[in-house]
Amino acid sequence: MSMLAYDGTAMLGRQLLRMRNNPGLLILTQTMPVSMLLFFGYVFGSALAMPGEAYRSFLVPGLLAATAAGGIMTGMFQAAQDTHRGVANRFRTLPMSRAAVPLGQAAADVVVTAAGTVPFLLVGFAVGWRVEGGPLEAVGAFGLLLLFRFACTWAGIYLGLLTRNEEAAGQLGGATFLLPLLSSAYIPTSGLPGWLRTVAEWNPISAVTTALRDLFGNAPVPDGAAWPVAHPVAGSLLWCAVLLGVFVPLAVRQYAHGER
């Protein structure tokens, strides 16, 4: 385990250096939620029944959760990109822990996400979002957000190692933008027709969004929702556990096997 921690830290360092030397993807993924906040908050928000500032407060936790789900896309893209690089072969011939490469990638992703929430929340603050609950709950919300990002990145890494194709990863990854549309990230699910509401509420993004709104004190837990949304913190933790339980072993196995 200490070998994994040591190698994983080295790989985390590698990922952070890569992003520092080549910050294009990073800048894109970090500025996207800011522009979506402004676009959704002012353009779409103007057509909604909810008053603008209330909608923007409602939207900030939703965008945080939706951005965290974007870990599927970045995880996929980077993992697929790496399979074509000779450097992956060198890692496989080194006496290092097999799990260290994906772990380093997922951990670096969490670090970058954590840093990226700062400018996003500053813009959120400027457009009217506030922490309306207790400080402990707010810290818990950040922890939950990063855990969700970590879990989504592992899912992405597995899919990226599976497709081994940057282009396919890019296209499939683009499709992950649709996931938050069928959740409570941008809209209250209570207005959806019955079956669609059920689907949306079983979307992990809904549980995380609702948990963030609850912990930041931005909006109460809706009545009559499906279990993961009705118990958002427990539901989110459970979703993360499921994602990690499924995708960590799959990704590590896929990485270790390579093209054998």
Partner 1 sequence: MTSTYAVLSEGLEKRFGEVHALRGLDLAVAEGTVCGVLGPNGAGKTTAVRLLTTLLRPDAGSARVAGHDLVREAAAVRSRIAVTGQDTSIDGDLTGRQNLQLFGRLHRVRGPAGRTTELLDRFGLTEAADRPAATYSGGMRRRLDLAASLIRRPDVLFLDEPTTGLDPASRNLIWDAVRGLAAEGTTVLLTTQYLEEADRLAGDIVLVDRGRVAHTGSPAQLKALVGAHAEVVVAHPDVLTKAAAVLDRLTGGQPSFDHDRNAVGVVSKDPTLTLPLLVRALDSAGVPLLDASLRPPTLDDVFLRLTETDTTDEVKERAA
Q: Does 46 bind partner 1 (CB under 8 A)?
A: no
Tell me which stretch binds partner 1 (CB under 8 A): 46-54, 80-88, 166-174, 210-218. 80-88
- Looking at the Cβ atoms of 49 and 90, the one nearer to partner 1 is 90
Give the shortest CB-7-to-partner 1 separation in angstroms: 6
Residues 51, 85, 122, 132: which binds partner 1 (CB under 8 A)?
A: 85
Tokens 């931005």 label which residue? 218
Tokens encoding 232: 């958002």
Q: Tell me, by CB under 8 A, how many residues bind partner 1.
A: 22
- Looking at the Cβ atoms of 15 and 30, the one nearer to partner 1 is 15
Residues 22, 193, 194, 195: which binds partner 1 (CB under 8 A)?
A: 22
Which of 107, 129, 111 lies closest to 120 in space, CA to CA? 129
Residue 19 and residue 112 in contact, taking contact as beta carbons nearer than 8 Å: yes
The alpha carbons of the chain give a radius of gyration, in whole angstroms, of 19
Residues 4, 18, 52, 170: which binds partner 1 (CB under 8 A)?
A: 18
CA distance 13 to 205: 29
Q: Does 7 bind partner 1 (CB under 8 A)?
A: yes
Residue 70 and residue 29 in contact, taking contact as beta carbons nearer than 8 Å: yes
Residues 10, 122, 175, 242: which binds partner 1 (CB under 8 A)?
A: 10
A 10 A CB-CB count for 230 gives: 16
Residues 34, 54, 92, 221: which binds partner 1 (CB under 8 A)?
A: 92
Region at 164 (left for phi over 0; alpha for psi -120 to 50; beta for the rest): left
Site string (93-132) toward partner 1, x via CB under 8 A:
xxxx------------------------------------
* 16, 19, 81, 88, 153 from 84: Cα distances, Å: 20, 18, 6, 8, 19
Positions in the binding site for partner 1 (CB under 8 A):
7, 10, 13-14, 17-18, 21-22, 85-87, 89-96, 258-260
